[in-house]
Amino acid sequence: MLPSEPGATSQLFVVDPIERLRPTKDSSVALMQAAQRAGQQVWVCTPADLAVHGRDPAHQPLVQAQPVRLAEIRPSASGWELPEPWFEAAEPRWIPLAAFPRVWMRKDPPVDEAYLYATHLLELAERQGVRVLNRPASLRAWNEKLGALRWSHLMAPSLVASRVDQLAAFAAEHGEVVLKPLGGRAGIGVVRSHGQAPGLKALLELVTGQQQLPVMVQAFLPAVTAGDKRILLVDGEPLGAVNRRPAAGEFRSNLAVGGQPEACELSDAERSICAELAPALREEGLFFVGIDVIDGRLSEINVTSPTGVREVERLGGIPLADQTMERLLAA
């Protein structure tokens, strides 16, 4: 039977509606299964299920959550064996958030108003002793592209600006460039161009909303054709990685736009990048992070709902979700 109330071994996952998740791809599902294997009770909710009652003197945050039991999803030669149904759930009920010792904030971007307000409500629970992964204040503070600029010396030459003249001058200096919307995800809206491209200024006007919205422009790294490596760090330590190779005729390597995952090892340079980032990640409560590295250069630091667990587990044979849960429960 599914539990009627959360207990000391319960974990809550704040995610998109569970029926929309892709269990053979989604890292959140992998983490839920690992929690279940570790003897934890798994509960789920969406950001819209969070609330706080103003009449409560303690302003106690609440959640409308439901317990779930997940079927085991095993890797196969061609992918994953997916049972149907792959989960069962009880009816949702209102519960104090503080009833959950650990809460995962794994809602996919965009980081919009609803997302930000959810982090504020989760922060109330954090003040009551709940461990929220990742820390709500850090989720608000870390834009996944701007956050990497703390280590700009590890990155390809980069500029963040709204002014077309600035962006065009950077492109003229570096030749081939990549334009990235700061709120983008999964490679959506990323554009490759050139400092001498016809219509470059019109493109820059478009992506900046007529010079009102900053964007990131970076020197293009031709070595991306060999892949863009996603490295997953748990409490600052790299536990696994997957190389994502762009599809034919494409420069973006994101799996969501057709990139192909490959097993890989970490180079000394990549381990050095991880070691340099680790103290800040630990200090700011960023327990589960995915960084992107191209040709030994840091590209992004993903903190909202990093993906890649399934690919690391299937291609690399590394039980990354179980290792993550082991470290969390040991702490």
Kindly list the catalytic residues.
145, 180, 230, 244, 252, 292, 300, 302
Task: List, in order, residues 6 or more apart from 257 with CB less than 8 Å away.
Answer: 186, 187, 188, 247, 250
* Helical H segments across the chain, by residue range: 27-37, 113-127, 136-141, 164-174, 200-207, 268-283, 309-316, 320-330
Go through the chain and tell me how many residues it has. 331
| Structure token pair of residue 20 | 């929309």
How far is it, in rounded angstroms, from Cα 246 to Cα 250?
A: 6
* Other residues' Cβ atoms within 10 Å of the Cβ of residue 290: 22
295: left (phi over 0), alpha (psi -120 to 50) or beta: left
Pairing of strands 215-219, 228-234: unpaired
How far is it, in rounded angstroms, from Cα 243 to Cα 113?
A: 33
